[in-house]
A and B are shown apart, each in its own frame.
Chain A
């Protein structure tokens, strides 16, 4: 098995791990982490597509690689915005939950 196929299989497994964490972990910060793992798994799948497209003297197709670089930066900006929203939610309600029925504590009661 080549290094590229191995990396592709790793990517597939990472998508599974990330999806599981996104679905089952109730804490929003852990969901953000899981979503980033899912995303990096998808990026690795792009990586194997790039590697299998090696031609014209390049070790890998540059187009998927450029898309991944753009993707990493966009994923970072989305993560930063999500974290800022989450911190603000915690600041306002004293809780960090996506459950709309959770009893809201008085702001600042425990933080």
Chain B
């Protein structure tokens, strides 16, 4: 067994151990901390699968932004843990559930082991049109060109989630803001970090979006980094989240899918079908769409994390 193989097995065991901890931990806070670590370890597994784009997304969104959301939720729900604990099912039910889960996991493991190698693939089809698109990263090509309809609808899902979260606001807070209030003189390590990181983070995010056309990266990953920068500034209480009635905020939320849809509809006129790019214009249009999608993702993720507005709008 080579060193790499030993490391792979160690990584897999570590991922499973942290996942088991997340499920079994007695306190919800410990469980959430386990989940954040789990997300980071999982992104290493994605690197081992040669899926760097997925690893970036998993680290930024699956672990980072979800972690902020869950940690702030678990702190607010602390008093609900003890009453819920008495509803835990009995031993018999738990053993039955364990048996069921073992059957499901074993069946999936059998599928993995019996999978044909090499398996079915769309990689040659994805590769054959990269030249026309002028895009070097096949995943960006799939997301913004071949399966662009999925990606556009996914942006709509993000907006629906924001509408769902906002609709949970009490009536008196509608139009107002959520999240921690700004304080005049924030201090401490978090405030220092929130002043130090954003300039670097913004440059890294723009770089990741820009190189996403040819290298691992793209609108999702870059947008998530921008969102993280906005969140750290809000958490350090250097700035407040905008009131949800602000027109610029709402425009930022819908800019990505709106531009995507507009270019998609324009496809009817020039190449002749929905979401088709005119020949020679694919790359600039893809970059144009990605820029607005990055803006929308950077606006949407923090709004989802800080939750519904909880104070009335200022007059």
Contact = CB atoms under 8 A, between A and B. Distances in A.
Contact of B79 (A59, A79, A110): A110
Contacts of A88: 168, 308
The 9 closest A-B pairs by CB, nearest first: A16-B105, A53-B121, A59-B50, A8-B112, A77-B161, A12-B108, A96-B80, A26-B87, A62-B138
Given A5-B113, A44-B45, A73-B154, A15 B32 contact: no
A87 B69 CA distance: 11
Given A62-B126, A77-B161, 10 more contacts: A3-B4, A12-B109, A18-B19, A29-B70, A33-B32, A34-B22, A36-B35, A47-B49, A63-B146, A65-B54
B292 interface: no
B141 interface: yes
B236 interface: no
A63 B31 contact: no
B151 to A, nearest CB: 6
Interface of B: 4-5, 8-9, 12, 15-16, 19-20, 22-23, 28, 31-32, 35, 38-39, 42, 45-46, 48-51, 53-54, 57-58, 61-62, 65-66, 69-70, 73-74, 76-77, 79-81, 83-85, 87-89, 93-94, 97-98, 100-102, 104-106, 108-109, 111-113, 115-124, 126-128, 138-139, 141-143, 146-147, 150-151, 154, 157-158, 160-161, 164-165, 168, 218, 220, 297, 301, 304-305, 307-308
B147 to A, nearest CB: 6
Interface of A is mostly: helix
Given A12-B112, A47-B49, A61-B123, A25 B157 contact: no
Nearest to B42: A40
Given A72-B61, A77-B158, A55 B143 contact: no
B66 A79 contact: yes
Given A6-B12, A16-B104, A63-B126, A48 B112 contact: yes
A60 B89 contact: no
B94 A75 contact: no
A33 B35 contact: yes
Interface in A44-71: 44-45, 47-63, 65-70
